[in-house]
Amino acid sequence: MLRDVAVLVLPGVAPFELGIVCELFGLDRSDDGLPVYDFALVTEHPGPVVTNQGFSVNVDHGLERAASADLVVTTPVPRGTTASPAVVAALRAAHERGARFLGACSGSYVLADAGLLDGRRCTTHWKYVDHFAAQFPAATVDCDVLYVEDGPVITSAGSAAAIDAGLHLLRGELGAAGVAKIARRMVVPPHRDGGQAQFIPTPVLPPEACADDDLAALHVWALEHLAEDLSVERLAAHARMSPRTLARRFADASGTSPAAWVARMRLQRAQELLETTDLPVDEVAAAVGWGSGAVLRHHFSRLGTTPLAYRRTFAGTA
């Protein structure tokens, strides 16, 4: 179970990704019933650490603070940066005692310097893939994904993909319901499909993040009626617009089609029911509007699992 998080901050760190990591793991969310992690920034030489934007971040803890961490996060560094022997030793020691790792964007370089990506699949920012593959031939780098989990190591693609990777890690700790609470507060989707090779104009947002007031109201209504017919025609009729207009406005506001959004919401609700209830799979399917367990299993195949396997893994973690 995750209790202690150490975030490695090196000169030239990207403040955006550093902020993402602090938001994901450093905030007190006990008012939402979520755990509070022992969280710290660490660096080789405590004191001011200059970011790639020219301002400095003050880091109080040295590398010895990482010795107790369950999770070590490596934040982005400028391409060409090589981890020092002290940093490499600290990361290898954490690996030997069973810690997990999250490499945000080009933070994968630091993990690779320590040999933690040898023989593993990983990813990094698409701009760096060729350089990374040439520098670390023992790693298998995938440029078409948002994140990769291989053993105790998760690596993420460019910039905002650190959110996707972090939420994926936290899903294993908190379950779908817990991650949904975090995502809602961050106003981001709890999960988004696709990879770096795809153009994603706007992720699927929760209702409160939709700037189109009519569609925001439709989102709320649809979430309250997931067990019913939510065809494009019915959604359009409820919103008092034509199906073509609904599809266009839905794509502009939510970055997806009405049918894809409904499927995503049904899958998320099914995850929550499998985690928090003892309902049989067929009843879960009916409760989210998919009718039968066979249809539910088809949709869960997108997650690489089955409803029963998901329940065995996550039941009781919410």
The domain spans of the chain are: 4-169, 201-314
Instruction: Note the pLDDT of residue 80.
Output: 82
CATH no., domain 201-314: 1.10.10.60
The domain defined by 4-169 folds into: Rossmann fold (3.40.50)
Distance in angstroms (rounded) separating the CA atoms of residues 31 and 173: 18
* pLDDT attached to residue 203: 41
User: Could you give the count of Cα atoms lying within 13 Å of 41 in the half-sphere of its Cβ?
Assistant: 20
Average model confidence (pLDDT) for the chain? 88
Q: Determine the Cα–Cα distance for residues 257 and 248; give it in Å rounded to an integer.
A: 8
pLDDT band for position 50 (cuts 50, 70, 90): very high
pLDDT at position 201 is 31
Given a cut of 60, whether residue 172 has pLDDT beyond it is: yes
Q: What is the pTM of this model?
A: 0.68
Q: What is the pLDDT of residues 213-268, one digit of tens each?
A: 678 788 889 988 999 999 999 999 998 999 999 998 888 776 678 998 899 889 88
- Mean pLDDT, residues 34-54 taken together: 97
Output the pLDDT for position 197.
40
SS3 105: helix
* pLDDT surpassing 90 at residue 202: no
Range 210-215 average pLDDT: 64
Please report the pLDDT score of residue 314 as a whole number.
75
Q: Write down the pLDDT at residue 10.
A: 97
Asked if 258 and 246 count as a contact pair (C-beta separation under 8 A), the reply is yes
pLDDT in tens, 264-311: 889 889 988 998 899 999 999 999 999 999 999 998 887 778 899 888
Residue 304 or 132, more confident: 132
Nearest residue to 109 via CA among 138, 143, 75, 148? 75
Identify the pLDDT of residue 254.
Answer: 66
Alpha helices (H) in the chain, listed in sequence order:
15-25, 85-96, 108-113, 129-135, 161-186, 213-223, 232-239, 243-254, 258-276, 281-287, 293-300, 307-314
Q: What pLDDT is attached to residue 251?
A: 80
- The pLDDT > 70 percentage for the chain reads 92
